[in-house]
Amino acid sequence: MECKEVEIVIYGAEVLCSSCINLPSSKETSEWLEAAISRKYKDQPFKITYVDIHNPPSAGDKKEFAEKVIEENMFYPVVLIEGKIVGEGNPKLKNIYAELEKYGYIPA
């Protein structure tokens, strides 16, 4: 089964959220996730988009969700796969992998 290229969107900020002091920054988490997913699902396409919640795109779903992260005081980074929240604060690879496999991704 051919896997569909999914979009993984990571919402975060340069400044760590107050409960995330000892965790990596949202940007570091984004880079770490990209490396981990690339290793686990070799040669399977996916797209990672990082959105700074304090400087989101000027319109669209990503802007709306960035505002929601701030308004609802969500722990960031918030990780979405195809619009579904799969991680918040300190995302777990196991949950992210499980969601990717629903889209046909096969571990290497």
Distance CA 62, CA 39 (A): 27
Average pLDDT of span 62-68: 97
Domain chopping of the chain, boundaries? 6-102
Give the list of residues 6+ apart from residue 93 with CB closer than 8 angstroms, or none. Answer: 33, 36
**pLDDT for 72-95, tens place per residue?**
999 889 999 999 999 998 899 999
Question: pTM for the whole thing?
Answer: 0.90
- CATH assignment, 6-102: 3.40.30.30
